[in-house]
Each structure stands twice: as structure tokens, then as C-alpha cells.
Chains A and B, each alone.
Chain A
Amino acid sequence: MSVAVILVLVAPLAGALLAPAFGDYPAQRRLVVGACLAAMLGGAALALVRTVDGSPVAWRGFTFDVWRAVLVAGAVFSSALAVARADEHERAGLVQAALFGGTAALVAPLLLTGAHTLAVALPIGTLGVAVAAFALTGDGPGLLRGGRSVGALAASDVLALVVVGMALSKGTRLPQDLSLVGGFLLLAAAALRLGLAPLASALDDSVEADAGLGLLFNGGVRAQGFLLALMAVGSHRTVAYAAAAVGAFSLLVVAARAAFARSAEAPGASVASTGTAVALIGFALGGTPATWGAVLALAASFAAWPLWSAGVPFASTARASLAALPAGGLLTGSALVVVAAVDASTARPWFLALALPAIAALLSIAAGVWESRDEERAGEPIAGGVVAAIGFATVLALAAVPARAASGLGIPVANLLGSGRLLTTGSAPGIPEDLAAVALAAAVVAFAAGPGRLGRGGAPGRRRIERSRSFLDWWARAASAPSYGSTLARDAATATARRWGAAGALLFAVSVGLALRVYIVAAGRGFL
């Protein structure tokens, strides 16, 4: 079964070639781009379905298993929306080509099972992101932020490749048998890609630079982060504790921002960050319920932001539905992870350090998500519609039948990943299907027969304070950049961006050197 792999890898490459070719013909370009996106999304969906069924999905050196299929689906989903948003860009064809290319470069490492090929593919993915960042951001502050995020990504590459090089003596098959130091380094590399505090600057910078670049980070880069994070978490119990601590701390930071800082972050983005942190805690805990919950939270975190953006052209209902945290995969997943942590606390109270931030953060985010700023439109027609339709279907499935979602998605991944490092017992199911059905029925009735007219139409355009500071800002947020207001500031930002570009290029060169060394050593030892 290789069609899925070919579609996922070739469709974005085809899009990268065809989008600029039709650059001067918007209607035709939309058609071509829509077809490429549909093929890409279809390939990811097909891979997910086939791997959940247990069928092998592979083509040459590229292999899907159910865990990688989840990651690829999330990456492709976000990238599709990034491409859709670029439809209204003044250089739409080139920007869409850059995004397609970046998607292919980011997805490829997710399908590789050898350390030597992963070592080569990681820098190529970073290069793809760099090209997309350059195409999307133009000059000035956007370029500065984009350069900083790519520089951080290159630093993450260097860390990951050092770890791969350290573990190469034990073979090239992933996941490798890592040392304790290697596990911690790989966790740091993963945290940079996941955008979790205290290494959240790369993701934050990319979101601030351009929403399309943010979506690329939200999808492909985040998926790579999870791939690396699970290798790190599986290596040593101490690393698993550290990963869980990173997740709990990140939740605390997000909660503080939601409750006190009133940050300007879009709800879709903060839901994605929350889902990421919950998922990392769940994977670090391990055990059946926590892993199920982690997979569901991960799926919700991939879907959250694309849906938030893609819902704009339809109606505010779509966006508000997404913001309704008490339903859907994030609720189910979070509940499973939190319950696993709370249950563990009854035997070993130190697990409260994970459970308490998780509960507090989820509650405060559930309150804060309703009061939010709006985002600009997600781009016109075909592509946004495709993404939104798939996303709404996914979220509806997660929300309507959470226990079935766990059995259809969570259990296969949990079986593949095996028992975790911190917890290995328990088999609590998700939210019962009948309870979910009753709650959803109540929601439908309440929506139809809710309270009558409230006030006089509200105050659209009310925004949160843009950049209010809080004591946890430093941990969770990128450094400031000059405003777009003046020419001098823009020039200064461009000059700084050049310095960041030079630093990023240096790190990229180091990572390419490390990758070549890994490949040559692997070849010399007969691992290939």
C-alpha cells in the first residue's frame, strides 16, 4: 500500500511546481492548489485509516505506522490551511509554492525509520521552513521574527543531530537507545519545536511573524517535535519526569496568560498549546488511559488552530463551536490525562505537581477562551473550505463519540507506543458514549431554544490588550520586535534580521555537517 505515501509526498511537490506556474491566473491556480491540497489531505487520511486497520503503508524508505500517521495528518492539515491563507497574498503563487515545499520538507522526516536518513531530512525540513518564512514575511519586524524562529529551529536541529551522532554506535534503527544526557538534549530539541515554555520563543515568533508561518510550525514542526519527544521520553524515567514537568509548567504559563495577562494570542493557538502540553504529560505518564488521552489531546491540538481560522468565512458559529472547550477531543483527552495524574497522586503525592497545574490551567483556559480577539480571514474559497469540512468532521467525531474515538485512534497508538515510563496500570475508558450523546443532545436543544435577544448586537472589534506584561511572559513569549510604524524601525529590524539570518545559517551549516557525519559513519559501519 504505497498510494498514501506517494500522495502525501508528491502532492505538495506538485503544488510547489504548479502554483507559481498558474500565478497570474487566480481562478486556475485555485483549482490546481485545491486539487493538490485535496490529494495531500486524502493521502494523509488514507494512511490514517489503513494504519489504524493494521495494514502496512510504505513506499521505498518511507513508512507509516499509526503514530506517524497521526502526526502526518496533523502536519498536513495545518499546512493546507497555511496554503489556503496565502491565496490572498500579493505574490500568492510564489508564497503557496514555498508553503507546499516547506510542507513536503517537514513531512518527509516523519516517515523515516532510520537515524541516518532522519539526520539528513531534519535540516532539509528547516531549510523548507526558512524559505517559507522568507517568502511570507517580506522585510522589517516580520522578517526579524521569522529569522529568529528559523534560527531556533536550526538550534533544535543541532541538538537533535548531536544526540543521533552520540547514539549511532548502537545502530540506526529508531528510536535509538539513548544515554541520559542524550535523552535530555533530545527533549530540549523537541521542546523548542513544540513551543513549550521555557523554550516557547520559536513558536511565538513564528505566530507573530505571519499566521501562515505559525500554521507551518503548528503542524509540521510540532509533529517533528512530538516524534523527537517520544524518543526522549522513552529513553529514561528521569527524562519522562522532565518532560511531564515541562508540560505542567507550560500549562501553568498558559493559564497565567489566560487569567492575568490577557495576552493577544488567538484562542486557536492557545488551545493548540494547551493540547500539546497535555499530550506531552500524557505520553510521559504512559499507561493506557493517559496515552489515549494524550493522542486525543494531540489530535485536538492539531485541529484547533486550523479550524479557528478556517471557520471565519462560514460563520461565527463555527469558530465559537471550536472554542467550546467542554466538548470534543481536548476535553476527553485532558480528562483522561488529568484523571491518570490524579489517580497516580493518590498513591504517590508527587504526581500532584502534574495534576494541579493541569486542572487549574484547563479551567482557566476554558473560561478565558470565550473572551478573545478575532483573526483575519483564512483566505478564500476552495482550500479553506476543504480544510474546514475535514476539520469539522474530525471534531464532531471526537465530540460525539469520545469512547469510540479513543478506540479508533487512541488505542492503536497506545498499543504501538507500548507502556509508558511513569505509569503502567489502569484501563479507565473515555467519556461513555451514552453520556456524550445525552450531553450533545442537550447542547443541540439549548442552541435552538437558548435565551432570546441579548442586548443590541454586542461590540465587535473589542480587542484584548495587545502586549500586556506578566511575570511569566519571559518564559512563554518571544522577545519584542520593532513596530511596523516607522521606516527607521523597519530598517533596524531588517538589519537585526540579517544578523539572525547569519546565525541561523551558521547553525544550519553545523547541522548539515553533523548530518553528513552521521550518514558517513553509518555507511562506514555497514548500518545502511
Chain B
Amino acid sequence: MTARSRVAFASGAAGLVGATLLLSGRFDGSVALALLFAWGARVAVDASLVDAGPILASGATQRLAQQASFAPAWALVIATGVLRAGTSGLADLRGVNGIAGLAVARGDALSVVGAWCALAAGALAIASRGSNGIETAAPSGSGARVMPPVSLRRLDAGGALAQAGLLATLFFGPQIAEATDVVWWAAGVAALAVVAWEGRRLTFRHAPAVAAALGAAGLALVLIGGSP
């Protein structure tokens, strides 16, 4: 294992911890900072594999480029959520979702549609990720699969959950004051996790462009529709 892999993994773990602490409300911070942390966790998985030998490295390099191509979509998603809520603080965002109503249900019709577009863009960005494993030919002629270590797969899952939590904070996660508020979070994050899990099997070549287009549409609609 190379030093670069270790540093990449350490960066990802630090990013995941930071994102978790911010999203769980232990520290107050900006949604942009949470995005950078969660992004770091997701990217670290492939960064750890870049030096991992020719088989795993080729897939990792492609996935790094794939992740980078989703950057505009994430920027648009964040901008949509922040513009709709009128604030970039995570605590304030949850407060807005609690008081003014969830972005995906309350407010001007155009803003609601815009929030759904941005949510779809974010879900697409979470789900669109090449498989971690690589198919190879076994000596006997049967197929074999080289998988990365389980710790990397866990880090990947953690990063995806952090990104799902970020989407929940932006669009459908209210400040938790009573038990019913938890339902929104649990159901939403679970749904996004299922989408991400199932999305691994699908290959959609133009996903970054579609996600960016959805994010741009969402931002435009929220700009027209305004805050609640």
C-alpha cells in the first residue's frame, strides 16, 4: 500500500467525520463546507485506488474523472437549496424547512418544482458511480471479480450517506422537534440510499450532463419562484 493511498484514505475519513459532525448538528457550519467534506470522503475511495495496481487503478482513474464531471451539478444543487431557503447555514436551513415547510412541498409552485429538479440532480449524482470491482478473466476461463478492501467500500457508503444527508438538509429535512420529523429524514435518506445502491448496476453515459441540466433548471425555477 502506497503512502498516497494512505493519505487519500485518511483525508476521506477526516472528511466523513467532518461532514457527519456538521450534518448531525454537533457543529454549526455552512452547507458549502459540508459539501466539501462529503465530497472529499467520496473521492477518497478512488484516490486510494489510483496506486493500487493496474487492475483496480484503471477503474479508479475513470471514476475520479466521473466524480469531477458531477462538480457543476453539485454546485447548482447547493445554489438551488441555499437560494430557496435564503441562508447557507445548516442549522438555518433545517429551521427554514421546519418553519416555512419542506422545499419539496411548500412554497411557490415553481420553487417546489425547482426543488424536485435539484433533488433529482443530486440523487443522480449520488447514484451515478462506476462499480468498485473489476471483472477479470480467471485462469479456467470463468469470470472473476477483483474487489477493493472492505474499508474502502465502507468509506464509499459513508460518503454516499453524507451526501444523502446533505440533500435531506437542503430539501426535505426539518429541524427535529418531534418524532414525526425524524420520519422525513429516515425515509428520505433511506430512499436516496436505495437509489444509490440500485444505481450501481446502471450505466448512464450522459448522467453528468443530465444532472447539471436538472440542477440548472431547478436553480432557474427557484430564482423565478422565489423563497417561501
Is B1 positioned at the interface, with any CB of A under 8 Å from its CB?
Answer: yes
Contact partner, B223, options A349, A359, A462, Cβ 8 Å: A349
Tell me if A338 is interfacial: C-beta within 8 Å of chain B. yes
Residues of B close to A317: CB separation below 8 A? 3-4, 6-7
Given contacts A259-B68, A345-B83, A447-B10, are A363 and B39 in contact (CB under 8 A)? yes
**Nearest residue in A to B223 (C-beta to C-beta)?**
A349
B10 near A446: Cβ-Cβ < 8 Å:
yes
* Residues 327-338 of chain A, each 1 if its beta carbon lies under 8 Å from chain B, else 0: 100010011001
Closest Cβ neighbor of B27 among chain A residues: A435
Whether a CB of chain A sits under 8 angstroms from the CB of B12 is yes
Q: Is A326 within 8 A of B36, CB to CB?
A: yes
Residue of A355, A367, A459 near B57 (CB, 8 A) is: A459
A452 at the interface (CB under 8 A from B): yes
Q: How far is the CB of B111 from chain A (nearest CB, A)?
A: 13
A425 shortest CB reach to chain B, Å: 14
| A451-B9 contact given A316-B4, A339-B33, A370-B43, CB 8 Å threshold | yes
Residues of A within 8 A of B5 (CB): 450-451, 454
Taking the complex as formed, is A32 at the interface, i.e. its CB lies under 8 A from any CB of chain B? no
Question: Cβ of B214 < 8 Å from any Cβ of A?
Answer: no
A335 touching B49 in the complex, CB below 8 Å, given contacts A359-B78, A435-B18, A455-B56: no
- Partner pick for A364 among B14, B15, B16, B68, CB 8 A cutoff: B68
**Interface residue tally on B, bucketed by range:** 35 or more
Q: Which of A328-368 contact B (CB under 8 A)?
A: 331, 334-335, 338-339, 342-343, 345-346, 349, 352, 355-357, 359-364, 366-368
- Give the residues from 69 to 88 in chain B that come closer than 8 angstroms, CB to CB, to chain A: 69-72, 74-76, 78-79, 82-83, 85-88
Cβ-defined contact, A431 with B33, below 8 A: yes
Contact indicator A366/B43 (Cβ below 8 Å): yes
Closest to A442 in B: B17
Residues of B within 8 A of A360 (CB): 71-72, 74-75
> Distance (Å) between the CB of B28 and the closest chain A CB?
8
A498 to chain B, nearest CB (A): 42
Assess the A454–B7 pair: CB atoms within 8 A. Answer: no
Q: Does B110 contact A (CB under 8 A)?
A: no
Of the candidates A359, A435, A438, A443, the one whose C-beta lies within 8 Å of that of B29 is A435
> Would B55 and A455 count as touching, CB distance under 8 A?
yes
Q: Are A367 and B71 in contact (CB under 8 A)?
A: yes
With A352-B79, A451-B48 in contact, do A370 and B71 touch (Cβ < 8 Å)? Answer: no
A319 to B6, CA, bound (A): 12
Indicate whether B11 reaches chain A with its CB closer than 8 angstroms. yes
Q: Are B2 and A339 in contact (CB under 8 A)?
A: no
Q: Does A180 contact B (CB under 8 A)?
A: no
Contact with B along A445-486 (1 / 0, CB 8 A): 111001111111111001000000000000000000000000
Question: How far is it, in angstroms, between the C-alpha of A502 and the C-alpha of B17 when the chains are bound?
Answer: 57
What 0/1 readout, one digit per residue, does chain A (190-201) give for beta carbons within 8 Å of chain B?
000000000000
Q: How far is the CA of A451 from the CA of B4 in the complex (A)?
A: 12
In angstroms, Cα B67 to Cα A477, docked, is 25
A44 to chain B, nearest CB (A): 28
A363-B68 in contact (CB<8A): yes
Expressed in whole angstroms, the minimum distance between the Cβ of B67 and any Cβ of chain A is 5
Give chain A residues whose Cβ lies under 8 Å from the Cβ of B12: 326, 446
Pairwise interchain contact B52-A346, C-beta atoms closer than 8 A: no
- Find chain A residues with CB under 8 A from B68 CB: 255, 258-259, 363-364, 367-368
- A-contacting 9-mer, from B147-155, B168-176, B183-191, B192-200: B147-155
Q: State whether B65 touches A259 (Cβ < 8 A).
A: yes
CB distance from A212 to the nearest CB of B (A): 25
Beta-carbon nearest neighbor of A450 in chain B: B9
Flag whether A432 is at the interface (Cβ < 8 A).
yes
Asked whether A447 and B9 contact (CB < 8 A) given A320-B3, A459-B54, the answer is: yes
| A439 neighbours in B (Cβ, 8 Å) | 14-15, 17-18, 21, 37
- Residue pair A453, B1 in contact (C-beta under 8 Å): yes
Q: Are A342 and B49 in contact (CB under 8 A)?
A: no
B211 at the interface (CB under 8 A from A): no
Question: In the complex where A367-B43, A443-B11, A446-B13 touch, is A451 in contact with B149 (Cβ < 8 A)?
Answer: yes
Q: List 21 A-B contacts (CB under 8 A).
A: A315-B3, A320-B7, A339-B32, A342-B30, A352-B83, A355-B75, A355-B79, A359-B75, A361-B71, A362-B71, A364-B71, A368-B64, A431-B33, A439-B17, A442-B16, A447-B7, A451-B9, A454-B5, A454-B51, A454-B52, A455-B51
Q: Which are the 6 A-B pairs with shortest beta-carbon distances?
A: A455-B53, A326-B40, A446-B13, A458-B51, A454-B52, A451-B149
Please report A residues at the B interface, Cβ cutoff 8 Å. Answer: 255, 258-260, 262, 315-317, 319-321, 323-327, 331, 334-335, 338-339, 342-343, 345-346, 349, 352, 355-357, 359-364, 366-368, 370-371, 428, 431-432, 434-435, 438-440, 442-447, 450-459, 462
| Given contact pairs A355-B79, A367-B64, A455-B56, a sample of 11 additional A-B residue pairs in the complex whose CB atoms are under 8 Å apart | A259-B69, A316-B2, A320-B7, A338-B30, A368-B68, A438-B17, A450-B151, A451-B151, A454-B53, A455-B57, A458-B52
